[in-house]
Amino acid sequence: MPATQKPMIALEQPGLTYGQLDLLARGKASLRLAASAETALAKGRRHIDEIRASGKRIYGITTGLGALSDVLLSGEEQTALSRNMLLSHACGMGDPLPHAQVRAIMIALVNDLCRGHSGVSPAPVHGLVACLNAGITPVVPSQGSVGYLVHEAHIGLCLIGVGEAELAGKRVTAAEALKASGLMPVALGAKDGLCLTNGTRSPTGLTALALAEAERLARWADATAAMSFEALGGQTDAIDPELLALKPYPGLIQVGINLRCLLAGSEILARSQGLRTQDALSLRSIPQIHGASLDQLAHVARQVETELRSASDNPLVIEGKGGLRILSNAHPHGQSLAFAADLMSLAVAELGSAAERRLDRLINPLVSGLPPFLVRKGGVNSGMMIAQYAAASLASENRILGRPAILDHAVTSGLQEDDVSFATPAAQKSLKIIDNVYRILAIELLLAAQALEFHRPARFGQGTGRLHARLRQRIPAFDEDRFLSPDLAAAEAFLRDESELAELDQALAGGT
């Protein structure tokens, strides 16, 4: 495959995985609809047309929306409602969402509609796929969603040539972006506006994106923890495989494997054994803390995968034993996703909190056995003192963000929607926490690498030594005070570099 050609992911009717959504959202793959998805779309639309022709009273198709659900609409009004719904619901505010987050919502929207139960016209779905593959990203304000509607409405507007979009790094009108890509604005039919805005697409896309990032982050947390454990002369009894097997949580066992793999062959640890009866909890409970987070992420994965196999519109078309039916329902309620995103926030924040406690020990000569603040000439040099302040600030911010969004409630739409989930804000704050933990781990990485310098010429662990060497290709050791912020940014870039993650995964692949 040529280097410029992206892999193509086919969306089958059963739906995407969160890993596929993550690749698509980050622009690592292109999307096409498989025959099963096209068939489901066409069949669902035929059902809607049949039901409309019957003259039945149907929410959002022959009636208004929300508190206006008792207002009956004519045929022309049903079509006009689709456009008007996008215009009225696109009331987001604040800074735009990052590209990957917008794309994640778009992909989750396509995935949901291709279940075939929404009854959307195929044209809007084809338009979304075309925009994704052409690199057209609607400008979507980040604030204003209690769980659904607002972000999706801004995306829907782009399809009809209203609002703004980004294309090739430039912010232009949506109409200009479509024209430059050889695309035409989509003509909406009855129910299409509702299909584009309703459901759990925003929290599904954002939570899936966050989950994939959190899984990558968790592997780095084990790696930076291993470096700190080694630099502080950790007692390896705490990661003994027979000991850990007595508490057989899957995550705990996996973290133990990872640590032993990274630390194998360390002369530093070999000569440190027996110096203490036991280490502080931030060192000896790495498997227990990190492992618990891994187990929670596994639960989140099950929730997200279920949502990606779900239809979340209202109303939904069902063809079953009772014949063809269209039912009003509450599937757009994002309670399960809100719980999952809140749980993920806690799991990731705890990885950051544990890292901050470890890196604090690295700079404290009372417990580290190393030069104060990891610099040889203390006094004239402050060394890594204030880097720990930055980590403490980030960890504190995470504790603020960690408050469960699911506990919040609001009454909207004139008492019609009187229990909303806040699933989208829950997903958004999980993404912020993940960014913060990346930065905490970057600080731990930088400090642990500096601490290991004081153990030379002893041999580092197989994995930690490999990681240390690759980091030193980007960031030199610290001999005296220098402008530290660029080093921290470089350390964060190192952790976010997929080639470095691939190197780490190779190091972890030989774990025992």
Instruction: List active site positions.
Output: 59
The answer to whether 317 touches 48, Cβ cutoff 8 Å, is yes
- Whether 300 and 13 have beta carbons less than 8 Å apart is answered as no
Residue 226: CA atoms inside 13 Å, Cβ hemisphere, count? 31
Contacts of residue 152, Cβ cutoff 8 Å, sequence gap at least 6: 89, 105, 109, 196, 197, 198, 199, 201, 202
> How large is the greatest C-alpha to C-alpha distance in the chain, in angstroms?
85
Which helix (H) or strand (E) segment holds residue 129: the answer is helix 122-134
Beta strands in 238-386 (DSSP E): 316-320, 323-327
CA distance 340 to 134: 32
Q: How far apart are CA 300 and CA 347, in angstroms?
A: 10
Assign 31 to helix, strand or coil.
Answer: strand
Q: 417: which strand partners?
A: 412
One-letter amino acid for residue 193 of the chain: G
Per DSSP, 106 falls in state H
Q: Which of 6, 12, 10 is closest to 309 using CA atoms?
A: 12
In terms of residues, how long is the chain?
512
Token pair recorded at residue 355: 């890292």
Do residues 27 and 102 lie in contact, with contact meaning Cβ atoms separated by under 8 Å?
Answer: no
Going by C-alpha positions, the residue among 363, 305, 310 that lies closest to residue 13 is 310
Nearest CA among 402, 342, 315 for reference residue 207: 342
Please list the residues that pair with 164 across neighbouring strands.
Answer: 173
Contacts of residue 418, defined as CB under 8 A and 6 or more positions apart, other chains included, come to: 411, 412
